[in-house]
Amino acid sequence: MPRGDKSKYTDKQERKADHIAEGYEKRGVSEQEAERRAWATVNKDDAGGKKEGGSGRGKHTGNPAAHKGGKSGGKASASRSAASRSESAKKAAATRKRNAEHRVH
Residues 6+ apart with CB under 8 A from 16: 38, 42, 45
C-alpha–C-alpha distance, residues 97 and 83, integer Å: 21
pTM above threshold 0.75: no
pLDDT tens by residue, 17-60: 889 999 889 888 898 999 999 888 888 877 777 666 655 555 55
Looking at residue 63, what is its pLDDT?
A: 60
CA distances from 48 to 9, 13, 33 (A): 7, 9, 19
